[in-house]
Amino acid sequence: EQWLSVPKVELHAHLNGSVRDSTLLELARVLGEKGVIDFSDVEHVIMKDDRSLHEVFKLFDLIHILTTDHKIITRITKEVVEDFASENVVYLELRTTPKKNDSIGMTKRSYMEAVVEGLKAVNAVDINFMPHDADAGDFMDSQHIKSGTCNGATRKKIYVRLLLSIDRRETTEAAMETVKLALELRPIGVVGIDLSGNPIVGEWSTFFPALKFAREQGLYITLHCGEIPNPKEIQAMLDFLPQRIGHACCFEEEEWKKLKSLKIPVEICLTSNIRTDTISSLDVHHFANLYNVKHPLILCTDDAGVFSTSLCGEYSIAASAYGLGRREIYQLAKDAVEFVFADDEVKKDLREIFNSAAKMLD
């Protein structure tokens, strides 16, 4: 891949959307044999290329049937982190919706414990997922704290931080439970809250109390904003002043004005927007305008598995669609460091990683 040598920062990746096709098919085969699902139906859906936004959410319901099990969550977390690391992602903010499933004794907390097990199981690279001053308590044994911070000179390393997603189907109480869990899990690298899920479902007023509480408690917030035309909600979201937003596809003149004056960084997911037909083509994608006016933006994958893409792939698309050269791509990747939800130590280290990579550009 052309952009493999450029270090990259991934800030918008949904765990269950980033699962390898091969893993999904393997899981589907097992459940097919057990008679829980019909494998051929699932195979067809998983291998399908283009999906409307509506179909994507149907696919997520299916993926969740395949993955909502502690051991599987651990496995996919490990694989997703290793996949991003293998394409030279040096900082990953991974987001996931904590799930409750009484029939298998899963609570939102035990779901997240399974995610953390996955982070601990990463061995293809050195992983740092705990803030420096964190007291991880009973989550971590001392050995893991060591391997998290001690990096061999030749080993690749990746920083991973977690965002907990509130699904738009959830109630205020359920959203609040997720925020409280995020606060509890700060020591193991949960840094913020995301609002996602089917944009035609749910009301801003339902999530607002939980998001407000999260912000008061110092968690960072990113919102899926403007995936469908909904001016009222878009305005309310911008007025909330989240630290970042995702997508911003269906904005009108007034909303662009507000976004630009507030300088809220936008997580841009090109392939996702095109595949779901949220934006009709790359020529008319708002990346071009935001890039030209130097509005803060970050290229991201959204769902590398579901949309069969990668972060290298997204940079390739941007380079060819918008005529960006090697230096511009490097700068775009580097600028993302300023918008991560991690502490200054991490940012400083990331800037150094980019500075030493810059030498390769000459």
The least distance separating ligand 5GP from the CB of residue 361, rounded to whole angstroms, comes to 33
Q: How many CB atoms lie within 10 A of CB 33?
A: 10
**Binding test (CB under 6 A) with ligand 5GP, winner from 3, 11, 60, 74:** 60
The least distance separating ligand 5GP from the CB of residue 301, rounded to whole angstroms, comes to 10
Site membership for ligand 5GP, residue 74 (CB under 6 A): no
**Binding test (CB under 6 A) with ligand 5GP, winner from 15, 225, 238, 249:** 15
Closest CB to ligand 5GP among residues 249, 337: 249
What is the rounded distance in angstroms from the CA atom of residue 184 to the CA atom of residue 60? 27
DSSP assignments along 53-79, one per residue:
HHHHHHHHHHHHHHH-SHHHHHHHHHH
Asked if residues 118 and 73 have their Cβ atoms less than 8 Å apart, the reply is yes
The least distance separating ligand 5GP from the CB of residue 349, rounded to whole angstroms, comes to 27
Site membership for ligand 5GP, residue 167 (CB under 6 A): yes
CA atoms within 13 A of residue 219's CA, in its CB half-sphere: 32
What is the rounded distance in angstroms from the CA atom of residue 95 to the CA atom of residue 78? 14
The least distance separating ligand 5GP from the CB of residue 303, rounded to whole angstroms, comes to 5
Backbone dihedral angles phi then psi of residue 3, each to the nearest 5 degrees:
-105, 15
Beta strand residue intervals within 124-178, DSSP E: 126-128, 157-167
The least distance separating ligand 5GP from the CB of residue 60, rounded to whole angstroms, comes to 4
**Could you give the C-alpha distances from 245 to 162, 187, 204, 249, in angstroms and in order?**
16, 24, 14, 11
From the number of C-beta atoms within 10 Å of its C-beta (0-12, 13-18, 19+), residue 243 rates as middle
Q: Which amino acid is at 360?
A: M
Cα end-to-end span (Å), the chain: 19
Site membership for ligand 5GP, residue 165 (CB under 6 A): yes
Site membership for ligand 5GP, residue 14 (CB under 6 A): yes
Site membership for ligand 5GP, residue 272 (CB under 6 A): yes
Site membership for ligand 5GP, residue 313 (CB under 6 A): no
Active site residues: 227
Site membership for ligand 5GP, residue 227 (CB under 6 A): yes
The least distance separating ligand 5GP from the CB of residue 174, rounded to whole angstroms, comes to 13
Query: Interacting stretch for ligand 5GP, rule CB under 6 A, among 123-131, 196-204, 232-240, 282-290?
Result: 196-204
Number of residues binding to ligand 5GP, judged by CB under 6 A = 17
Asked if residues 28 and 22 have their Cβ atoms less than 8 Å apart, the reply is no
**Binding test (CB under 6 A) with ligand 5GP, winner from 6, 16, 268, 340:** 16
Interface contacts to ligand 5GP, rule CB under 6 A: 14-17, 60, 96-97, 165, 167, 196-197, 199, 224, 227, 272, 302-303
